[in-house]
Structure 1
Amino acid sequence: MARYAKEHKQVTRQRIIEQAGRRFKQDGIDGSGISTLMSDAGLTNGAFYAHFASKDDLVANVVAAELRSQVAMYDTLRPGRLGLEDLIREYLSPGHRDEPGTGCPSAALLDEIGRCEDATKEAYSEGAKAILEEIAARLAPGDPKSARGKAIGLFSMMVGTVQLSRALSDQKSADEVLEQGIENALAFMR
């Protein structure tokens, strides 16, 4: 019986983290209260503290999980630079821009993460480091450390491009930012 309870608690915790990840990316960390987050997970507010010490604890766990998921996605890409080109085109697509709840946590939450507590910043730093390592390994498979600076530039360019495109009210201009971002990122890779 205790094993079931422990497994059930872990599944419930994971459901809260996944639902909160979508909600945070869609509405922002500050725009998502505990009651909404728990409702999204199909639970009552009272259940929250059985899983997390505070909202800040949840945020740190969500950021870590979101970035782990993003890093795992690199395994589904084609090998090397071809996979990185595919990633750039998908990342800088209207679909990614228009669906922040299912997209990259960096593009959706970076400004808020910068104002979060240390645990969230640490979770983000660890995840971002893993993403940069994945990009660097694709840019220079024989010597990823040599491509770290380029990986930082490429990742920053991609995140900023999506953020700028999301902020524009004119659809044509927003699409132009994405198209130019793809060209810039592919040129930067070379």
Structure 2
Amino acid sequence: MRTSNQSSSCMPRLLIWLQVIASVEGIIQASGKAMVLELIQQYLDPAHVDQSQSPCPLAFLVTDVANREADVRSTYGKAFKKAATPLDAQMAEDFADSRNRSLALLAMMIGGVAIARAVDDKASNNHCLRLAMQSGVRWLNDCMPIWLQ
């Protein structure tokens, strides 16, 4: 089991990744729903998931953080909420519930990547990614599941 110091050593990398997410508006040449759609497609792309050099810490650490100290879980929670902010900003014009949608989309994206990385069957992980991407597109096209509204 890792100590608190070892667990928190992943936090600087998480913060760097959050800066990348926060500046996504400058990386992706789109805005509004189009930007969010492009982000979903890039994040859930199998090439991104297969990337072992610098995996997204929100997906990479999700199961590990759940078993850590309260301060580590609190930091992860703040990072998750902060990562949803650019999505929220891009969807605010189209949806009154943009914050809820951004949190739901981010959770779905992180979960999709985490599961795809955990499954050793390439066909299954690609299928999982496709389903997550289809769900994200539907959510952007105002088809949020009733239980999320």
Normalising TM by the smaller chain, what interval? 0.7 to 0.9
Quick one: structure 1 residues 140 and 56, their matched pair in 2 at CA, closer, same or farther if it must change by over 3 Å?
same
1:65 is matched by which residue type in structure 2? I
- Amino acid of the residue matched to residue 88 of structure 1? I
Equivalence for 2:43:
91
> In the TM superposition, what is the alpha-carbon distance from 1:57 to its structure 2 partner?
4.6
| TM alignment of 1:48-63, pairs within 5 A | 54-63=5-14
User: Percent identity between the aligned chains?
Assistant: 21
Q: TM-score, normalising length from structure 2?
A: 0.78
Deviation at 1:56, TM superposition (A): 4.5
3-state SS of 1:102 partner: coil
Aligned residues: 140
Shift of 1:99: 1.1
Deviations 1:16-63 (A, max 9, x none): xxxxxxxxxxxxx95xxxxxxxxxxxxxxxxxxxxxxx4355333333
Q: Give the equivalent residue in structure 2 for 1:66.
A: 17
The ranges of structure 1 where at least 4 consecutive aligned residues each deviate by more than 4 angstroms after the TM superposition are none
Which has the higher Rg, Structure 1 or Structure 2? 1
Q: How does 1:109-120 map to 2 (within 5 A)?
A: 109-120=61-72
Match of 1:164 in 2: 115
Q: Which has the higher contact order (CA 8 A, sep 6+)?
A: 2
CA RMSD of aligned residues (A): 2.6
Shift of 1:100: 4.1
Q: 1:83-133 deviations in whole A, cap 9, x for unaligned? A: 111111111111111114423211111111222334433332222222212
What runs of 5+ residues in structure 2 fail to find an aligned partner? 142-149
**Aligned residue number for residue 33 of structure 2:** 81
State how far apart, in whole Å, the 2-side matches of 1:142 and 1:173 are.
Answer: 33
- The answer to whether residue 135 in structure 2 is matched with residue 184 in structure 1 is yes
Relative to the length of structure 1, the TM-score reads 0.63
Greater share of residues in helix? 1
Using the alignment, how far apart are the partners of 1:131 and 1:58 within structure 2?
Answer: 19
